[in-house]
Amino acid sequence: MFELIRSNKRRSVLLVVVFVLVVASVGAAIGFVVGNGIAFTVVALVISGLIAFGSYWKADKIALSVSRARPAPQDEYARLHNLVEGLCIAGGLPKPAIYIIDDPAPNAFATGRNPNHAAIAVTTGLLEMMNRVELEGVVAHELSHIRNYDILVSTLAVTMVGAVALMTDMAIRTMWWNGGRVSRSGDRDGGNNPLALIGIVLLVLAPIVAKAMQATISRKRETLADVSACQLTRYPPGLISALEKLKADTTVTHSASTATAHLWIEQPMSGVGDDGKLGGIHKLFDTHPPLDERIALLREL
């Protein structure tokens, strides 16, 4: 377990580096398309560095704001606060900030940069659906993300994936306005420039790669968080029952977005479980492993 956590931290550092390289590649692609590859690559590296630095300090606030989370008053949500406090004592963790999201869909997520600067957000739908034991399992899952340092890279991904999407969208719109014919030399026949063509391909592929990386971030960490939660509560049936209720529920989490989908305890967006002809491709972008697999693993504990 602890070796997995150490490995998780190493992969997190590597993942941030890869994200920076993806953003730099997008900058180079924009440069090749509009006429100055080196300058745009340097600019993209600076921007990606600033994004990574800013995300480290502010991405949790962004994730909470995007999800329309509000602080949970202790007198109004005493049961939730008591569960979090008890599990934090058992796990040797500082108590995170607790937020409520007014959404009928049952879901929850954790965010922050480290255990001392973390937050947990749960929907009103989750509080209504889960009994105490099941809610304890869900809270333990989110606290495990905090203890395992999943929250840092997952929270960074919110802004970094968004940055890649924003840069590529702006570049493609610029190409559209210019007719896609701006060359490196500044003339209007850049469409035959092979570097420009490579740049266009990179602009198309970059958001896809970023989304696939976002999905990989979550899938690799959800199973570890499930197992860690059972270690924390000493009662796997609680989390199993909670996941079974989440599986039976088909409500879409309206407070979620594609940028924050990987943060939640289960896939919050619609369209999950596609078994059609393109089902295999769609699974590449699923931010969570199937609930059936997660439940089956926990039953083996």
Question: In angstroms, what CA-CA distances link 148 with 31, 223, 269?
Answer: 39, 12, 25
DSSP state of 73: -
142 assigned to active site: yes
Q: How far apart are CA 221 and CA 200, in angstroms?
A: 33
Q: Which DSSP string do the residues of 138-168 spell out, in sequence order? A: HHHHHHHHHHTTHHHHHHHHHHHHHHHHHHH
* Cβ atoms of 176 and 141 closer than 8 Å: no
Which residue among the candidates 134, 142, 222, 266 is catalytic per the annotation? 142
How do strand 117-123 and strand 97-101 relate by DSSP bridges? parallel
CA-derived radius of gyration, the chain: 21
Contact of 251 with 106, CB cutoff 8 Å: yes
Separation CA 49–CA 58 (nearest Å): 14
Distance CA 182, CA 178 (A): 7
User: Which residues have a catalytic role annotated?
Assistant: 142
